[in-house]
Structure 1
């Protein structure tokens, strides 16, 4: 509450006013009176600034201080004052009191508060009207977007139903799958993957794939080659040799093969001449135990090398499920070349061991062996078996595999639908329209109580309209 005017400087007749000692403090209502041009209006305008909280240009340049129960109110802080002041002076009369008459009894309208309230009411009602118009437009756009999204769901559900032969499958089913897919990583498949899962999903039980035997392969040449290096380099020791036989390996082998037919001296089985004991002993001395052992090693090695030739029969691609056939054919294509390279090396090594068997006394060295002959076959067989295992797993779990493939294909198309919707931005736009409507409704709901309050506050003034 205002208590006094402490000072005024530079305001009309109040160039240097200070409150005299003993001046009575203001009451709740105060009347200012005096002679014309004594400063009543000027003083009332100073009070009116406190009411309006706005500086009056006619009072610019003055300093003042009002005493209150708290801090003083001055020209520097009056706009922040929370003290309620009401001023009735000539300015108020001009602005707010209107006397209208005509063919009706004069009506007095107290203008400032009533007209200000009505202007606010009209402004607020206009805002509500504009908000309602915008809401109708937003609702129309919202419904149009809902319809487009619903149509897209219906069309997608129809496509999935027909493409994957799922019946029933409606927009409601698609909505459930959308919820499932939206929390997963992208379910899109590559084109070849999609083709495979669809083919499996649509495979009838009557065409269930059969189990195919895996390939068994143990190619062996590396160990034989190492043995051949040792055996071919070795030469047998002889206590006594016959020059003619040593110089003629073929005859030597021929004589050796028939020596057991003459355990004792007698007639030669070939020429019929007498085979003397001395000749028989010379032949037996020529073919020493060391030579015999050496020849056994060479012959044994030769037999194992010849037996190392690799042969393999594999299933036809048609025996596998269709989705594995292409990869199976690619894996199988590697095998013939690897097997041929291996067998050519076997044949070459067998020929070189045969040469050693034909001439035991000559030290030899086998040709270098190509690297990876065994590994190439084993790797190729492993690649083929990996595909066969996939086929066999499918055959063993056909029902579950079909269901998984159907789910993958379905989720692919659901993901495709979601990505297309995201690109179109329909859901985002629909949600944005809905949120704008909600905000406008809240805004209107907030304005209406303000209108009701303004109408209630001016009702006592308006009672004169009904008299």
Structure 2
């Protein structure tokens, strides 16, 4: 069957508070009962009927009524649950007739001073074969998914194609993105050598773009190693001073050469000494030990000859003495120069940055080698000078030196240049490190891009995107064609719509009641000549001063006609009719019943002989027992395959409304008499107040009404004006309880019904069971058969005295 409401819980909505369906709507066997397909609800005025209808109408309007903010309810049904928060999106088609419907659509009936205009509506007019054929042709072209043909079916496969291609593109694209994201976060961001705390997918994409630029060359393994060394380098202190090498060999040679080549001869040569330079040196040294010191030779102990000093002085002339002094001075100068060479280069490799250190060390070594040659040349010069000194009278020749002054100068310049370069590096070190990091990172990215065949994958993704875009466009185009076709159908249907037909339909219903000369709804062109307005007329003139009964009839006929407008016709409707009877006479009541029966409830015969119903679910509520009797005669849907029917009662217990199953006597006999007896019977036990306050609150009124009916049938004729009081005296006699009872009924108990604050407790509730039992006992005493018959009708056990 589908689309029916089964149950409703109402935590808070108007007079309802804390209603839990499963707790309150149970049959005598304690089984929870649901709403059926047809539901009759009975409740006295102010019991909560209209409030319940408002909950259903909020499903129709898809919003809570005014002044009900903060209200809550939850319905369950075959098309899912609906709560106060899900009103905009539920799946039920509901149409409600209640006083809010009248206010919204027929404001003139509510306030007749505003002039007799009510809301227009259109219903489908006369069929036009050409339009029908055109609509049928478009519908055939549109086809359906279920029918596996037409534009709608094609669109379905285009949608599948769109979804498949989109999914393939998304999968490929997000797969590549994920690889990039992972590499960015796990391999680059976490690698401190690349020194970047923030590195994400957009950064790696920028780096990939950098590796694609012309001129990009990834680092070699050696270059990577060098860059990593640079990254480890800390800033070094500046190297102070420069290397200065002044070569003195040339000037030393210039001084030494005349000394070595100079020829001198002794004034009176001692032949032996000239022949033996060692002996000559020995003698020369010996002179210093003997002159003016001793008279004998220290070597042989012989006396020295008297002329020894003269002979020797003539051999060792002043010239040779001067030469010797000059040679000594020259030897000292050469020795000093030799000593200087060793300490010339005081710089060490550790003072330099890595790149310069290597260069410095090789230059330093080359300089040392060149200086070693220079030192040898110095040593040769020194040796020559010493040879001459040892044999003053023998000139010595000098070979050309081996050293290369230009080479030494170049090495010195190179080392000084390295000092400047290395010092300069301190200022650019951070920048160089950044450059090194970037180069290392780009080398990593380049290798990664190669490894995942990035370009090939991009090409594949681009192809998939083209496919997805093509499929999406095809889908959008197909949707547009369908929308246009559906628009054409709507435009054609609009030509069939006719607002005047709405007024005619209402009139045909009113006509059944008033006849041709009664009240009508007339469609008139509005001032703009485009729209139509409805006016209520009586005998062709605008009608005012409509009676309450006439207002009810017009409103209800209007509602019934509205069920045939294009928004409602042919839909699975849940129809809720709330108390259509206000103060109508019997004719009105029967007419209302006839409209509901013939237009909604009565099943239509299908071609195969089975029944179909004009509603998916129907709710009718009333406070009128006569109308309730008629509703018993409604065509009821069979239980088995059409969902059956159920009767409910809405009662107000203190301040709160409650829903329960209608007692069987009310459902079956529909007399107020049994109902009133049941209410009094409930009050015989004070404990019942814990289950329901209602009977106690209404006790006075119920008792008065019951006794009026009961005693009228008992004593139909009475002369006295105050016959109600006389009948009571006649029945109850004049004992103390009877007097109390009669006083109570004449005083406050009978006025309880008019107290709107139903939560106010009546005086002395404990007294009510006493009075109830007193009345019940009296009825049993006077007529046990009638008493047991009444008890039986309300499903209570019979009394045996």
TM-score by length of 1: 0.50
Q: For the pair shown, which has the larger CA radius of gyration, 1 or 2?
A: 2
Relative to its length, the structure with more helix (as a share) is 1
